Structure 1
């Protein structure tokens, strides 16, 4: 629950430090005194938008801090643990706003983003404003009220995550479908190109082999003649072949060696040279024996080389890169085949995810229908107490599989009949302003009892209500205050008198500056304030007596 609120230089508040108790706290004050200013300041701690105008004129910054007890708020404790923030039995939310409009937010002294303090604040306080009954005319707000009453948080999270998964897969499918036409055209081209290259069946490194062999055969005659010339020079020239000349040189060197042993190395080198010459001659003879100048094979080779060059020009790649290009086209074709498989798989996943979503949405819808009937009875009973004895309230929940949303497939309508014999109709068409206020208040009080938020604020929700009806409203809020901390800003004495405690808001001018203060009233002060609410500025003995009676009852 909210234990303390400190306000510094906020709007027309210079400084306020307020301590709060459990139960129902009534907040009253003269018109224009700023009865809602503490609630506005608290709203800043809960993440509401702030601007420079909220800073008291002449001040550098405004600061608001709120201290909460977390004894009976396990969800808030778990949230602090999940977000690695300091956990204790108490928690302090703080917000500062500079005169230039910049603001900072803190949880237990730790700076946090505004979105984070907003999320956390929802676990601590629920605020019901004076215009909440107008929001009740909107279908989406009606749905929120029903889901709050039924505590559908987990069911809604399941439906929402199922919806997001469905939309994500649909998006992937749409992207694939949008490129389907291009993919089909590309696949047809690839199939033609790959079939042509498959038919040619070029092997890795084959171009280099063909090119080398073609070059050899194209120069076959010159090769044969050159090899024969080499053999003639090396060993067949009668007038002095290289081999005969070296033999003669060896003979002479051996004679010289006999005169000087130091020339033995020359003999050895000449012998080595002779061996090299003989081996060269043998290699050339062996090459000539193997060399086949088959015109038919050469023609086949030339045709394949010609086809290879033609294909490389057609595919705009170098001949040596044609094999790699073929492999790349094959890989791309396989990838397109894989995309088609993915398309079929995604279509199946979309159907499966939609079926899963509908299962969860139907489960949510069934629960809504069950709690709608329960809420029908409670709201009908409530409006009977609020001076609509013949009124009847009904919630229709319609499931539509085509109405897919993160909140399910339901359309909802609050219906009411205010007079006997009158059929149930949409609340926006039937209820008057006063009736709408009473119905809205009844729903807010009933749903508040089911919500786990430890502190509830009702900001002038009793607008348009008076007399005996106001007394019923007061009793409703007091009963709610027995189990939940309740703050009620009101102008009705019948409501204010039901508070477990009472705070008074006053505006005064000091040294040319306007300030708002807020004080807790004792019993005698409460009687005077209730008398003021009953009789206005002139307080008589009768209004004082009525105020005492109101407070005692």
Structure 2
């Protein structure tokens, strides 16, 4: 239940703090006084789209704060717990709208997204604008109303999830079929390409080793010549080893008399002799190994060029050819094993469809039962709303489960007749604006039995009706408010008189500034306001007496 509403700098309201009560709360006032501003402000606080135009002229920002008392088991508390929001005592929604168009949202002083504010707000308040009754002509809205009455919202939510899962399974199957078709078309190419790679059998790092061997083979004669010259120099009369050995022998003759000063040199010469011998040995081995082989060179070049040609063909590096071979083999394996995967995906679709079908048929059966009950309940409300002789029927049509949607296999159309003997037709074509409003009110009274209590707000639901019909509308609104709270903006004195509480909205001009004011009326002031609504600009004693009679029937 809405208990407090605080508004700062919204349109014509500079500062306003209102305390609300349970039951039917009526709001009246002259046209243009600002009744709709209150509804716009409350809508903003409960998650409606922000609008810079709502900020009062001259102010930087406007703020609306709405406080609610809720039952312990209210769904909104569970939603808040899921989002780690504090939830003790009242729930306070606050919206700050800046004149630059930006807005911020808070729940119990914790910053939240506007979407979350809207989710929470929709569980606390239901706002019906002046054209709300037109929504009765919309099929999805009618289906939603029926589901609300049936009380199987959890099943409908589960059905949407099952439908989504079914769509995902069908999409996966379709994608795999398309991929399989493309793969099958490329199978011949894959087999030919794999055969080429298997024939050459590329090895990782092979390009580098072949390039090195090719370079060596191409230069083997030149290298052999230089090795031979080096060996001649090392083995001649003035060979390095002979010179080193001669120097070593001369120093060894006097090493004992040199007091150790030649020891380091002698050691170095010994190492040099050993290294020179080893170098000569390695040169001899290299000379024997290095043989010019034109046939081997041809083989190396043929393989190296073959590898490079295949790499260009597959648009990869030579070293990536082994991985390319593995990838082509995997693609062929996938084609060969595709039947198993295709069968698996088809089974997934069949299972998902069966799960959807079972729940969709169950929901459809519940809807049919609820439709019959709803028709009876609404019919009981037509006479009090002065639709005597009228009729109401919920017509369900079905499609096969294979043609179902996220909401199931059913579509709904509310059919109505407004006079005895008239054939029933779609409610949008049969009912006038005032009759639509009354049909909507009858539905709301019927649905209230199956819904959690929440604050309901009606903006001129009595538009287009008057006299006894308006009085009937007022009585049903009061009935609707018995276990909750209903706020109604009205121009009808009959509806205003039905209220448990009454607020007057007025507009005043002070120092060239226009402001909207709201005042809760006492019993005497209510009589005067209802008399004004009955008489117009000039309130007569007859109007006052009529107002007393109207209120006397309600108080």
- The TM-score, its normalising length taken from structure 2, stands at 0.80
Q: State the secondary structure of the residue aligned to 2:312.
A: coil
Q: Is the 8 A contact 1:173 1:343 kept in 2?
A: no
Match of 1:385 in 2: 384
| Partner Cα distance (1:327, 1:113) in 2 | 49
Cα offset, 1:521, TM superposition: 1.3
Partners in 1 of 2:233 and 2:57 — Cα distance?
Answer: 116
Q: Structure 2 CA distance, aligned partners of 1:443 and 1:476?
A: 11
Asked whether 1:327 is paired with 2:323, we answer yes
Residues in 2 aligned to 1:229 and 1:10: alpha-carbon distance in whole angstroms: 104
CA gap of 1:300–1:524, structure 2 versus 1, over 3 A, is same
Residue 234 of structure 1, CA deviation: 12
TM-superposed CA distance for 1:180, in Å, is 5.2
For 1:127 and 1:432, how far apart are their aligned partners in 2? 22
SS at 2:123 equivalent: coil
SS at match of 2:487: strand
How far does residue 381 in structure 1 lie from its aligned partner after superposition? Answer: 1.6
What pairs with 1:281-292 in structure 2 (closer than 5 Å)? none
Q: Is the 8 A contact 2:503 2:518 kept in 1?
A: yes
On the 8 A contact 1:365/1:397 being kept in 2, the answer is no
Kept in 1: contact 2:55–2:61 (CA 8 A): yes
Offset, 1:192 = 1.0
CA positional deviation for 1:46: 1.1
Aligned CA distance change for structure 1 residues 479 and 72 (closer, same or farther; 3 Å)? farther
Cα deviation, residue 222, structure 1: 13
Task: Report the secondary structure of 2:325's partner residue.
Answer: helix
Partner in structure 2 of residue 359 of structure 1: 358
Instruction: Give the match's secondary structure for 1:414.
Output: strand
Residue correspondence of structure 1 range 38-187 to structure 2 within 5 A: 38-72=38-72, 74-176=74-176, 182-187=182-187
Higher alpha-carbon deviation: 175-184 or 471-480: 175-184
Match of 1:428 in 2: 428
Matches within 5 A, 1:102-501: 102-176=102-176, 182-201=182-201, 306=302, 309-316=305-312, 324-335=320-331, 337-338=333-334, 341=338, 344=342, 345-400=344-399, 401-501=401-501
Distance in 1 separating the partners of 2:232 and 2:7 = 117
Q: Deviations over 1:128-156 (max 9, x none)?
A: 22212212111122122222323343223
Whether the aligned pair in 1 keeps the contact of 2:52 and 2:97 (CA below 8 Å) is yes
Cα gap change, 1:225/1:412 in structure 2, threshold over 3 Å: closer, same or farther? same
**Within 2, Cα distance between the matches of 1:224 and 1:62?**
95
Per the TM alignment, residue 435 of structure 1 is displaced from its structure 2 partner at its CA by 2.6
Give the whole-Å Cα distance in 2 for the aligned partners of 1:496 and 1:183: 74
Summarize the Cα distance change of 1:217–1:96 in structure 2 as closer, same or farther, 3 Å threshold: closer
Cα deviation for residue 201 of structure 1 reads 4.2
Partner secondary structure for residue 122 of structure 1: helix
Structure-2 change in CA distance of 1:7 and 1:336 (3 Å): farther
Q: For 2:249 and 2:514, how far apart are their aligned partners in 1?
A: 133
Q: Deviations over 1:330-389 (max 9, x none)?
A: 224415644874962444434433333333333332222222121111112211332223
Residue 96 of structure 2 contacts residue 103 of structure 2 at CA under 8 Å; is this kept in 1? yes
Offset, 1:184: 4.1
What is residue 548 of structure 1 aligned with on the other side? Answer: 548
Structure 2: segments with no counterpart, 5+ residues: none
Residue number in structure 2 paired with 1:4: 4
1:7-61 deviations in whole A, cap 9, x for unaligned? 2222222322111111111222223322232122111111223333222233333
CA distance, structure 2, for counterparts of residue 514 and residue 73 of structure 1: 43
- Verify the 8 A CA contact 2:434 2:462 in the aligned structure 1: no
Q: 1:205 to 1:518 in 2, by over 3 A?
A: closer
- Aligned residue for 1:146, secondary structure, equals helix
- Cα distance, 1:2 vs. partner? 0.8
**CA–CA separation in structure 2 for the residues paired with 1:92 and 1:521:** 26
Alpha-carbon distance in structure 2 between the residues aligned to 1:254 and 1:367: 117
Matched length: 542
Contact 2:308/2:318 (8 A) holds in 1: yes
Q: 1:521 to 1:302 in 2, by over 3 A?
A: same
Gapped runs of 5+ residues in structure 1? none
- Checking the alignment, whether the CA contact within 8 Å between 2:202 and 2:321 is kept in structure 1 is no
Q: Is the 8 A contact 2:508 2:516 kept in 1?
A: yes
Range 253-262 or range 365-374, more displaced: 253-262
Q: How many angstroms does 1:3 deviate by? A: 0.8
Q: What is the rounded CA distance, in whole Å, between the counterparts of 2:130 and 2:28 in structure 1?
A: 15
Q: Structure 1, residues 179-222: CA drift from partner, whole Å, max 9, x if none?
A: 55654455432321112222444566778888999999999999
